Every structure is written in C-alpha cells, then in structure tokens.
Structure 1
Amino acid sequence: MTKTTDARPHLRILAASWEGGGNVPPTLAAIRALASRGHDVRLIADDTMRTEAIEAGARFLPWQRAPNRPDRSFESCFIRDWETADALAGFQRGCERIFVGPARSYAEDILETLATEPTDMLLGSDLLFGSMLAGEVAKVPTALLASNISLWPLPGHPPFGPGFQPALSAADRARDAEVSALIEQAWDGFLPCLNATRAHFGAAPLAHVREQPLSAGRYLLATSASFDFPAERLPDHLRYVGPLLELPSWAHQRWRRPPARKMRPLVLVSFSTTNQGQADVLQRVISGLAGEPVEVVVTLGKALEDLRLKSSANVTIVANAVHDDILTKASAVVTHGGHGTVMRSLHHGVPLVVLPMGRDQNDNAARVDYHGAGLHLDPSISPQRLAEAVRRVLSEPSFAARASALGRAIAREGPGPARLVAEIEDFALSPSRRTLSAA
C-alpha cells in the first residue's frame, strides 16, 4: 500500500455494483467520496453506470460474464419483479437472476479484474453474493455496501421484508421467529447453487446462504442509526455510515414553483426510478389528490418517463426534477418508500405518506411509522382514503414536527460520504479487524 504526500492512506480499491435503481446513487456517492479523498477506485458494474462512474472519479470496467444492462429501460431489467405474482416470487426471481444465481459469473469477472493489478480492498455489494465470494477466494479484505437498511435482521429487529414493527409481546416474537424461518428457507432454496459455485472455486460448503456475507470484514449500511429501529446490540462488523444522497444523473430538471400557487400546500409524489408496475397506484394517487386544495408535483423517473396518466389542474407531471428544489417547499411526500426518497424527505423535514411496492419499501415505511414521521398505507388504498391520509399529515402538526426532529437527528450523526471514507480507511488499515468475528 502506498502513501500520499500528506501521509493520508492511498488505497487501491475495486468496487463492484449492479444496476438496481436505488442502489446506484449511493454507490456513486461512495466512489466520489473515495476518489475525492485521493484513493484509486475502479468500478466493475453494468454499462449503464459507465459515464456516471467516470464522472465520479472511478476507472470503469463492465461485467463480461455476469448480467450487464446496456440501458435503464424497463425492457432491459433482469429481475422484472412487476411481472411476479407477489413479493416472494419477486425475491426468488432476484436471487435467481442477480443475487445468487449468477454468483459464479460475477466472481469470475471480479477475480479476473483483481488479477490485473494490486488491490488493497474490495468494496462489494450486499446483494451480489459473487462479490462476497470473490473477496473470500482472493483473500482480499472485503467490505460490503448496503444502500439501505440491513437485509439481515439485527438483534431485536423484526425480519426484513414484511414491514413489521419491533416485537412488543410474546405473540410478536413468535411471529418474528416464524417469518424469519420462512425467509431463511426461501434464501436456502438457493443454497445448492451457491455451494456449487463455492465448490468450483475450492471453497467449503455453507450450511445457510446467510453465512456468505459473513466472509466480509465490514458491512456498511448507507442509512442512519436514528432512522433504524433500536438494536439490542450491533454485530462487530456492522457500521452505520449514514445516507449517501447522490442525485441520479438523469434528475437534472430544475423545478420552480409558479408564483400563483404559493398559497397552497405542496405535495411531492414520487414512485421509484424503476418499473414496479406502479402505474395504477400513481393514477389512484393523482385521482385522490385532484380535488384537494393542494398543489401536486409528480416526478416519474427514468423508467417511467413515457407513462401516460390522467391529470388535473392542480397536478403537474414531470419526467424528472431535482427533488431538493421541490422538498424545500413541500409540506408532504407521497411515495413508494424507496430509501433514497425517504432519506431525502427527512433531510428536509418533510413528512411522508408511504405506499410500499415491495423490495425494502415495507421496512422503510415501518420505520417512518415507528418515528411518527408519516403514515404507512397499503398500495391498494382507494383514492378517497389516500386523500384523507394526506389531509391528516398536512393538518396534524406532529407529523411535520417528528419528521423535522428525525431529520435533525440524522444530520447530527455526520455526513454519510465522510463517514464511509473513514470506515473504509479504518478497515483497510486495521489488519486485525479484517476477519469477521462470528459474534
């Protein structure tokens, strides 16, 4: 490992990522922070991230064997979870097509890249099991970046997925244990595939899929401890680094509020940058707010920019916009509950109405509800009930007060990019802590 002239560490880092929508901005924010600090960063990822990665300061390498999206159209998406019947089917498709199924291809690409030049550490993805395995096989210090809350429940937390609140009773604890067992069973449905991949590289078989992430020495959560549920204790390898709020490269349109509408509360409606089959939900939200004394701005995002929706006089629909411009003036946000949208809204102290569509969104919505910073609703809600919920969030001051308090608590933890850099430098320079304790 070489040193820079000001005695700061100069690390040679290989980062691995994939085009999953909401995980892209935090990955780019991490790269930008590391490169700005003077570290040499290479990113191996889908071709969709090439231009952004280079602009952030990385040297870019595309996946060769592993799945590689050429663009961000919904047609190019590998998982296509909007086609599945339920959340479990969507999860299984993700495991089959990206997370576990192609682990050998991801690992081979990473190992080939590691062999081309010296590398001090690998920054893998918490969802790419091939990145974890490659670090284990190459014996390169490996940290995993999670773009949101932990996939694996922390002590005292409910299982990831259903959007449960923390257990308060024996019945709640029994519920959590039963669902956790079902989730582990779903993961372990891919254990034969993972162990076959491990055998190909000469690695010993695992008893459970969840053991593979334990081969990494750090698990970095790009979320806030203040936002998350309280944990009884944290595993030694886990670190909260805070939100990494990089704007998507395509969200460039500056938004300015028309002077004639300044007297009405402003509501931002945002339902993901990727297609989750949310056209019907978006239409019901717009219909519910059409007759309300509010101004509504709907941002569609890259994958939905061609969506055609019925609008009304108080609703403005734009393909994209810089959310910060809107949030500085907004009184409420109606959203699917993607981590980036939730964190950015709380950063501005804006309460939320969350209608989760799947993925991590149920759990983000549960945390918004837990902190009193908004409401968690079923996405099948009627337009009338949606309007009532928005009216409540706008009229009851406690929602805005708690959203603002939570935003301040998150800010007090410190800026995410700087904390991420500090954790990576500490990890890379502390050989004794590169191997995870099983505690």
Structure 2
Amino acid sequence: MTGLEPNHSIQGGARAITTRKYLFALTDGGGTVPPELGVARRLVDRGHHVTVLADESMGGQTRGTGAAFLPWSVAPTGELRDWERQSPMSLARNTVEHMITGPAPDQAREVGAAIERIQPGLVLTSFFAFGAMIAAEAKRVPFNVLLPNTYGLPAKGMPPGGAGLAPAHGPLGRLRDQVARSGVNWLFDRYALAPVNALRTQYRLDPIATTLNQVQHANLQLILTSPAFDFPGELPENARYVGPVLDDPAWAADVSWTEPPGEGPLVLVAMSSTFQNHQACLQRIIDALGTLPVRGVVTTGPAIKVEDLRAPANVSVLAAAPHAEVMRHANVVVTHGGHGTVIKALAAGLPLVVLHHGRDQADNAVRVTARGAGIAVPRRASPGRIASAVSTVLGSPAYAAAAVELGRAVALDADAGNALLLDALEG
C-alpha cells in the first residue's frame, strides 16, 4: 500500500472527492503557521485524513483544524535571533544552521517513520523542512513545498528576495539581479550544501548541485499569495500560485472584539506574532497615534505583553483581536510588513504604513509602495514621522483607491485560491 489508494469517495459539490491521506511536516515560522495550517484545515473539511508533524508550539492550533497532531521529538535548538545586528554572512550561517541543517537529520528520521506508519499519498512541507523533503524523496512519496509568501527563491526577471528591491530595468538592472541571484545561491551553498548532500547520501539519493535544488525536487511549490501582489518572473515549472490563505491565527480568530467608540478613522496596528525586538517600534507607533485624531487598535500577539506598553486614551492595546473583523471597520493598517497582515489588509481594500523589520518584510513593503497602496518608513522612525505617514495615507484618496484596486485582485485570488489549492492537492 502506498497511500495513493483511495479510502472511499464522498460527494463534494458537483464531483466525487476521493479521500486520501496527507502528511504535513511543518516548522513554526510565526506568520507562516495560519496559512499552512489553513491548508490542512481545508483538506480536513473535505473529508481527507490529515496528520501534521510540527513543533510542539503548534499543537493547539493544529488540533483546532481537526488534523491529527504529532510533535517533533526534538525541539528547535535555541533562538534564531535574526533581529539582532548581524553581517549577511553570519545571518545566512545562523539561519541555515538553525532552520535547515540543524533540524534536517531528525526531520528526515521522523518523517520517514511517519510515512511508514501513515502511508500518505502526499507530503507537504514548510520551506525550511529540508529533512522532510529528503525523507519523502527517499521513500518515493511525492512532496509539495508550501510557500506562504511571495516567491522568494531566485527567479529570472524577479528581484532577488530579502533586500526590498523593485523590479530591475535595463542592462544594469538585469546585471544587478543576476549578481544577486548568484549571491543568494552562494550563501546557501556555503553553509548548507555539504550537510544537505551528506544527508541525501545517507538516504541513498544523488547529490544536488545547489542547495535550493532540493526545493525544485518537489512535485509542486505552492505559492500561497496572489500573483497580482507578487512581482512577475520566470518561475520553475513546478511553481504554482494558488492564492492566499486569509485565516486568522487560532489564538485570535475566536476573540470577541467591539469597535471603540468615536468617529475618527480607525487605525489597526498589527506587528509580528514572533519576537523581532519590536517593542520600542510598537511604542513609537502608539505614541504617534496619540497625537492624531484617530481611534487606534493595537494587537500585540504572543510576542509582546500588553502591560509593557503605554497607551493614550484614543488607543486600545489588546493581546489579540480577529483581524478579519477589525479590518471591516478600519481605514488604514500599520504593520511590520509580514505577508499575512499585508495580504489580509489589501484583501480588505485597506492602505498600509509599513515599518519593515527583516525576513521577507522589505519585499512585501516594496510590493505595496510600487502599487501606490501605502507608504514605507524605517522601523526606527520617530513618532512624528510615523504620524506624518499615517496622516498622509489617511488624507490622500489615491492610497485607498490603489489599495482597493490591488485588493480586489487579491480577494478574487483568495476566493479562487481554495479551488486552485484543492485542485493541486487532490488532483
């Protein structure tokens, strides 16, 4: 038995759905958790048998999807602390060791054992779960990689990820991108290629030429965003946009929320759900809103304690609130630029003020500003500069109009995305 055989068929709309077994191998990436588990939930809702192998921190959220939960037996070692000042070399090394090469041997062992026990027809992995990919490949079970962001791998015609670059123009721009793509591959290969190939050899797989080739071995790279939001590029044949998953995190989705009284514009402030040393930035945003005739709603998430922040009378600071509900009443969103918050704001037709911190956030910010749907200011901006940016966005109809236009395409892709995603997974 391979797991590809159907258990039984159920009726789903106009066609019968063949139920199958799926194994997810996920890592806790903060903002990546809701969309990745949203994929699992959609499969559960269709009647499939879904098992999620993930970090212990994801246990409650996983069980809430209806999927079976298996914790990794080995917890992540230490804290990545990618928010600290680091050189590109040290940041690349620390990221690779913490997220890829360090966990990979245990991931491969545990995913291999889970495949033997569960017999899934398909394995779905987080981007950094290279060990899970290797185990699936060794067991000859197809695997898909979940990419709940813009497309971040090197691709011709697309600006390289991480630097917040706009699309290049002309020969010099193309040279910039070519050099940057080579640099990205070089950094990954310097720290990851040898240990990844050593693990592949252990599992009797041929070596790969570059580290990121491992992702190209996937059956599909499922890009959980809208192509209208991303910049165009020449993507690999196995890369497919399947629309954004707009689920709120489980710890916020069921929280009750009441719109604050008053008639001023409502400003939602939503920063990172994982710690990025952003408490001081969040306080400056709160101070900025205190100088404006607005109603502020600030959600701290699990990373920051409400009591550690000072708030003026016109700003409510909450541990959590259902963003989908708040955005129905909001006029602008102030954020660190995480993909989940940005794409949900756009789908709601809301302009943004982005104070990007790291990771993919500068890339998301430039996709917002290039379309005229918001303003980006430095994360260390003063309260006065932040207040000016919020006032500018609120006072200029052009930002709202651009957000509505882009958001209409994003929302359509999100609605269509369920069908595209399920077609990719059930086909």
Residues 279 and 307 of structure 1 are in contact (CA less than 8 Å); yes or no, is this contact kept in structure 2? no
Whichever residue aligns with residue 270 of structure 2, its letter is S
Q: 1:60 aligns with which of 69, 72, 91?
A: 69
Distance of 2:223 and 2:10 partners within structure 1: 31
Residues 135 and 216 of structure 1 are in contact (CA less than 8 Å); yes or no, is this contact kept in structure 2? no
Residue matched to 1:224 = 226
1:39 is the counterpart of 2:48: yes
TM-score normalized with structure 1 length: 0.90
Residue matched to 2:26 = 17
Q: CA 1:330–1:88 in structure 2 vs 1: closer, same or farther (change >3 Å)?
A: farther
Structure 1 segment 128-277 matched on structure 2, within 5 A: 128-189=129-190, 190-231=192-233, 233-251=234-252, 252-259=254-261, 261=262, 263-277=263-277
Residue matched to 2:9 = 4
Whichever residue aligns with residue 212 of structure 1, its letter is Q
How far does residue 77 in structure 1 lie from its aligned partner after superposition?
6.2
**What secondary structure, in the 3-state scheme, does the structure 2 residue paired with 1:139 have?**
coil
How many residue pairs are counted as aligned between the two chains? Answer: 415
**What secondary structure, in the 3-state scheme, does the structure 2 residue paired with 1:333 have?**
strand
Give a deviation string over 1:301-351, Cα, whole Å, max 9, x none. Answer: 012135612222222111111112221111111100111100111111010
Residues 335 and 352 of structure 2 are in contact (CA less than 8 Å); yes or no, is this contact kept in structure 1? yes
Distance of 2:273 and 2:232 partners within structure 1: 29
Whichever residue aligns with residue 50 of structure 1, its letter is G
**What secondary structure, in the 3-state scheme, does the structure 2 residue paired with 1:22 have?**
helix
Residue matched to 1:392 = 392
Residue matched to 2:419 = 418
Residue matched to 1:356 = 356
Distance of 2:113 and 2:79 partners within structure 1: 24
Residues 101 and 193 of structure 1 are in contact (CA less than 8 Å); yes or no, is this contact kept in structure 2? no
Distance of 2:158 and 2:72 partners within structure 1: 35
Distance of 1:86 and 1:290 partners within structure 2: 36
Residues 254 and 325 of structure 1 are in contact (CA less than 8 Å); yes or no, is this contact kept in structure 2? no
How far does residue 191 in structure 1 lie from its aligned partner after superposition?
1.2
How far does residue 264 in structure 1 lie from its aligned partner after superposition?
0.7
How far does residue 170 in structure 1 lie from its aligned partner after superposition?
2.4
Distance of 2:205 and 2:156 partners within structure 1: 29
Whichever residue aligns with residue 204 of structure 1, its letter is D
Residue matched to 1:96 = 97
Q: Where in structure 2 are there 5+ consecutive unaligned residues?
A: none
RMSD: 1.8
Q: CA 1:417–1:92 in structure 2 vs 1: closer, same or farther (change >3 Å)?
A: farther
Residues 260 and 295 of structure 2 are in contact (CA less than 8 Å); yes or no, is this contact kept in structure 1? no
How far does residue 5 in structure 1 lie from its aligned partner after superposition?
4.4
Residue matched to 2:378 = 378
Give a deviation string over 1:367-421, Cα, whole Å, max 9, x none. Answer: 1112111112221222222111111111111110111111111222334333211
Distance of 2:125 and 2:370 partners within structure 1: 31
Residue matched to 1:48 = 57
Q: CA 1:300–1:88 in structure 2 vs 1: closer, same or farther (change >3 Å)?
A: farther
Q: Where in structure 1 are there 5+ consecutive unaligned residues?
A: 69-75, 427-439
Distance of 1:91 and 1:151 partners within structure 2: 15
Distance of 1:161 and 1:241 partners within structure 2: 22
Distance of 2:161 and 2:390 partners within structure 1: 27
Residue matched to 2:285 = 285
How far does residue 86 in structure 1 lie from its aligned partner after superposition?
5.4
Residues 165 and 363 of structure 2 are in contact (CA less than 8 Å); yes or no, is this contact kept in structure 1? yes
**What secondary structure, in the 3-state scheme, does the structure 1 residue paired with 2:24 have?**
strand
**What secondary structure, in the 3-state scheme, does the structure 1 residue paired with 2:353 have?**
strand
Distance of 1:334 and 1:274 partners within structure 2: 17
Residues 21 and 120 of structure 2 are in contact (CA less than 8 Å); yes or no, is this contact kept in structure 1? yes
**What secondary structure, in the 3-state scheme, does the structure 2 residue paired with 1:344 have?**
helix
TM-score normalized with structure 2 length: 0.93
Residue matched to 1:296 = 296
Q: What fraction of aligned residue pairs are identical, expressed as a percent?
A: 40
Distance of 2:390 and 2:341 partners within structure 1: 17
Q: CA 1:395–1:87 in structure 2 vs 1: closer, same or farther (change >3 Å)?
A: farther
**What secondary structure, in the 3-state scheme, does the structure 2 residue paired with 1:384 have?**
helix
Distance of 1:353 and 1:61 partners within structure 2: 39
Whichever residue aligns with residue 268 of structure 2, its letter is L
**What secondary structure, in the 3-state scheme, does the structure 2 residue paired with 1:275 have?**
coil
Residues 267 and 333 of structure 2 are in contact (CA less than 8 Å); yes or no, is this contact kept in structure 1? yes
Q: CA 1:217–1:109 in structure 2 vs 1: closer, same or farther (change >3 Å)?
A: same
Distance of 1:148 and 1:265 partners within structure 2: 29
Residues 83 and 358 of structure 2 are in contact (CA less than 8 Å); yes or no, is this contact kept in structure 1? no
Residues 346 and 406 of structure 1 are in contact (CA less than 8 Å); yes or no, is this contact kept in structure 2? yes
Residue matched to 1:122 = 123
Give a deviation string over 1:27-81, Cα, whole Å, max 9, x none. Answer: 111011011112111110111222322221211111124x35xxxxxxx963232
Distance of 2:238 and 2:178 partners within structure 1: 24
Q: CA 1:280–1:26 in structure 2 vs 1: closer, same or farther (change >3 Å)?
A: same
**What secondary structure, in the 3-state scheme, does the structure 2 residue paired with 1:171 have?**
helix
Residues 154 and 184 of structure 2 are in contact (CA less than 8 Å); yes or no, is this contact kept in structure 1? no
Whichever residue aligns with residue 301 of structure 1, its letter is G
**What secondary structure, in the 3-state scheme, does the structure 2 residue paired with 1:82 have?**
coil
